[in-house]
Amino acid sequence: MDRSGPPLLSVEDLITEFHTADGVVHAVDGVSYELWPGETLAVVGESGSGKSVTAMSILGLVQQPPGRIVGGRVMFEGRDLLRLSRREMRAVRGRSIAMIFQDPMTSLNPVLTVGFQITEAILAHDTDRGKAEERAIALLSTVGVPNAKERFSQYPHQYSGGMRQRALIAMAIANGPRLLIADEPTTALDVTIQAQVFETLKLAQQETQAAMILITHDLGLVAEMADRVAVMYAGRVVETAGVRELFHAPRHPYTVGLMRSLPRLDNRSGHLMPIPGSPPSLIQPPPGCPFHPRCASYAGRSRCHTERPALRQVEPNHASACHFAEDLARKVPT
């Protein structure tokens, strides 16, 4: 990871809304984060926290309407991606930024062979079909698909779920992207296969030296994979820190809640402590801190329900959007 130069990606105050019959859904509400070359940033939070919509906004894949990006900048290699034409954005996707989605079956075309699809991804930026096919076979081999030459000519339904996800990883790294975005890449897979696919993802990242945004609701994975973490809640980043700092001393009650709801080997009672309540409405979020109705540290403090906490630095390499982040400066066992 190289932090000596400027960040590879800088998301600045991004705001994405969806206009629905019930009102405006504030899906991404002023999100900022940065990513340096070769770094892995885990974006963590419950469903509906805005993790995936932020990624779709970065890639220009928010369906408009009903979606609309109404504010912010997404600086990537010196250009604001939000200002690119569709053609320019298509060139960025696939070559410079590649996405790995949750469900490989929806990302692979069932009537085309896997090899053909990887070859086409290469040919979108190259012209020699023979060389592209050779490279596709080599890529399948790199991501651990056995008998890559034979597998090249098979259809997605002839692959297992784990193999399909490996094929998608091969497609994602085909053009040597600078940034990989993986959105819950193993959610659709058996637990036994998940670890193998993450291993493949790590190898693919090493192969390409790409930075990665790993979107997950699973904090357990984060320690394994990430350098830094951004925790999202109700469309905002509520905490960001190096992975060690976050696990050692979380500075937002929501992060503390996520950690306490993790299964632990030394938990003799066997009881997990889920965060009470459910995520707030994104049409009419609660006033003040959007987490206050569920917050174990709220204790009726008026500032929590009158003033929206800004994300502020509380320690080097550690920011929190809690008015009372300093009160949480104790070690939370993980």
Nearer to ligand SF4, 36 or 324 (CB): 324
Beta strands at 97-100 and 179-183: parallel, antiparallel or unpaired: parallel
Residue 244 CB, nearest approach to ligand SF4 (Å): 22
Position among 297, 311, 314, 319 found at the interface with ligand SF4 (CB under 6 A): 297
- Is residue 159 within the footprint of ligand SF4 (CB under 6 A)? no
- Please confirm whether the linkage preceding 66 is cis (ω < 30° from 0): yes
Residue 97 tokens, joined: 């930024």
Nearer to ligand SF4, 51 or 292 (CB): 292
Residue 273 tokens, joined: 């402590």
- Is residue 324 within the footprint of ligand SF4 (CB under 6 A)? yes
Packing angle of the helix pair 161-173, 129-142 (nearest 10 deg): 130
Look at residues 115, 100, 194, 186 and name the one whose alpha carbon lies nearest to residue 147: 115
Q: Choose the binding region for ligand SF4 from 31-39, 117-125, 271-279, 298-306 (rule: CB under 6 A).
A: 298-306
How many of the chain's residues bind ligand SF4 (CB under 6 A)? Answer: 13
- Is residue 233 within the footprint of ligand SF4 (CB under 6 A)? no
Q: Choose the binding region for ligand SF4 from 16-24, 80-88, 170-178, 291-299 (rule: CB under 6 A).
A: 291-299
Within 21-77, strands assigned E span: 23-35, 40-44, 67-76
Cβ-based neighbours of 238, under 8 Å, separated by 6 or more: 231, 232, 252, 254, 255, 291, 311, 320, 321, 322
Residue 290 CB, nearest approach to ligand SF4 (Å): 8
- Is residue 279 within the footprint of ligand SF4 (CB under 6 A)? no
- Is residue 291 within the footprint of ligand SF4 (CB under 6 A)? yes
Position among 234, 235, 309, 319 found at the interface with ligand SF4 (CB under 6 A): 309
65, burial (CB in 10 Å: exposed 0-12, middle 13-18, buried 19+): exposed
Question: Residue 57 in 3-state DSSP?
Answer: helix
Residue 217 CB, nearest approach to ligand SF4 (Å): 19
Burial 293-314 (b: 16+ CB within 10 A, else e): ebbebbeeeeebeeebbebeeb
- Is residue 42 within the footprint of ligand SF4 (CB under 6 A)? no
- Is residue 322 within the footprint of ligand SF4 (CB under 6 A)? yes
- Is residue 236 within the footprint of ligand SF4 (CB under 6 A)? no
- Is residue 332 within the footprint of ligand SF4 (CB under 6 A)? no
Q: Which residues bind ligand SF4 (CB under 6 A)?
A: 253, 289, 291-292, 295, 297-298, 301, 304, 309, 322-324
